Amino acid sequence: MISDTHYPRGADAARAPRESTGAAAVAHAPLPRFLRACRRERVDAVPVWFMRQAGRYMPEYRAIRARHSFLDMCAQPELAAEVTLQPVRALGVDAAILFADILLPLVPMGFGLEFAAGEGPVIHNPVASQDDVERLRPVEPRESLGYVLEAIRIIRRELPPHVPLIGFAGAPFTLASYVIQGGSAREAVDARKLMYVAPASWHALMDRLSLVVRDYLLAQVEAGAQAVQLFDSWVGALSPDDYREFVLPYSARVLRAIEQTGVPVIHFGTGTATLLPLMKEAGGSVLGIDWRTPLRLGRDIAAGDMAIQGNLDPVALFAPRAELERRVRRVLDDAGSRRGHIFNLGHGILQHTPVDAVKYAVDLVHELTST
Ligand code: CP3
């Protein structure tokens, strides 16, 4: 029991000194419940955090956003750090997620990125040909994305020790679908066209993107991220065969590189009911499940090799308390075990979500699962 609640010896022991302030703390500080769940170890309660937990549904976010553009908030480490900490203070979640965006690494690659009001992201010079791919620049994250790494260092200094920081990046496929479409691309029609019409260009693009994402995540880990999530948000547009041929090798390159560091990786996508076995094959320590996919299915596929994360429908947070409670209980039941489950939504928090419902869900998960 006692060794169970202490920092591990074994593979991760080498990381422990950096995660703490001194040798004594290393020997006695319990591993936070979020990190224990990633490793499928016993927990005192099921950990909970939410994708997009920092954002416009929070009044304290809107107060800062009223004075700065979204990209400015990402680019100023003090602001990004402040916004990252807001949901930790307001909600009592078990992990913080870095405030940034999956599209930021596209800028040093040579893409013109803008967040136009009401339209979402726009990329001014989308990829249309092999020449466009060849013009893309390699990225040294310590130079061109140093502001994100600085935010990580500030956040780590300010977070309480029981709340780990999650870094993240977009998966190569989801980033490819943005740079080919020039903006949001749920069905990835243009990306699929490039795969089928000019496969060599597709593979060249995925090669470049996967190197950038790999190095960016490794730099986040080096700066202090204690787990990372790879967001393959639009991957559900693909058939399993296309996923295997056009995506899996590139996601695997990223996931394997992070696994080598000993830091847990959450592999998340949406619309992935048919893709989960292949996502598992690609890698990661935690499988993220969206709300359309039964968590039981995710659990059966993870089958004790990976932890699972999910999967309350984000719209459930708009329901009356009794309905919300019923749905939270169902997610916990479907997870099957308190071990190796991280409670989350099946996708990000929606813009007008009531903050008190989010807080209620956090407290309920803790209450229903504490030992
Ligand atoms: O989860 C978090 O709280 C951390 C911060 C975070 C943001 N974006 C902040 C953000 C994370 C992890 C992301 C990831 C992201 N960004 C994804 C993958 C996750 C997902 O939702 O599938 C994607 C696809 C993007 C691209 C992106 N950025 C979109 C589609 C939008 C929405 C545009 C809009 O107007 O709604 C953004 C903007 C964005 N990213 C906002 C936030 C808080 C809203 C910006 C604002 O305040 O105007």
Are 280 and 243 in contact, with CB atoms under 8 Å apart? no
Residue with tokens 């690494």: 105
Measuring CA to CA, which residue among 291, 369, 357, 362 is closest to residue 321?
A: 357
Does pTM top 0.85 for this prediction? Answer: yes
User: Is 178 in the active site?
Assistant: yes
Long-range interactions of 325-331: CB distance < 8 A, separation 24+: 325/364, 328/361, 328/364, 328/365, 328/368, 329/368, 331/295
Any idea what the Cα angle at residue 32 is, between residues 29 and 35, rounded to 5°?
130
> Nearest C-alpha to atom 3 of ligand 1 is from which residue?
52
Q: What is the pLDDT of residues 210-257, one digit of tens each?
A: 999 999 999 999 999 999 999 999 999 999 999 999 999 999 999 999
Of 65, 244, 256, 296, which is the active-site residue?
A: 65
Asked if 271 and 288 touch (Cβ cutoff 8 Å), the reply is: no
For residue 339 and ligand 1, the question of a CB distance below 6 A is answered with: no
For atom 21 of ligand 1, the residue with the nearest CA is: 348
- Distance between CA atoms of residues 214 and 200, nearest Å: 21
Which atom of ligand 1 approaches the CA of 51 most closely? 1
Nearest CA to ligand 1 atom 10: 101
- What CA–CA distance (Å, rounded) separates 321 from 283? 37
Q: What is the pLDDT along the chain (371 residues), one digit of tens a residue?
A: 333 333 333 334 334 444 444 444 555 678 999 999 999 999 999 999 999 999 999 999 999 999 999 999 999 999 999 999 999 999 999 999 999 999 999 999 999 999 988 888 999 999 999 999 999 999 999 999 999 999 999 999 999 999 999 999 999 999 999 999 999 877 899 999 999 999 999 999 999 999 999 999 999 999 999 999 999 999 999 999 999 999 999 999 999 999 999 999 999 999 999 999 999 999 999 999 999 999 999 999 999 999 999 999 999 999 999 999 999 999 999 999 889 999 999 999 999 999 999 999 999 999 999 98
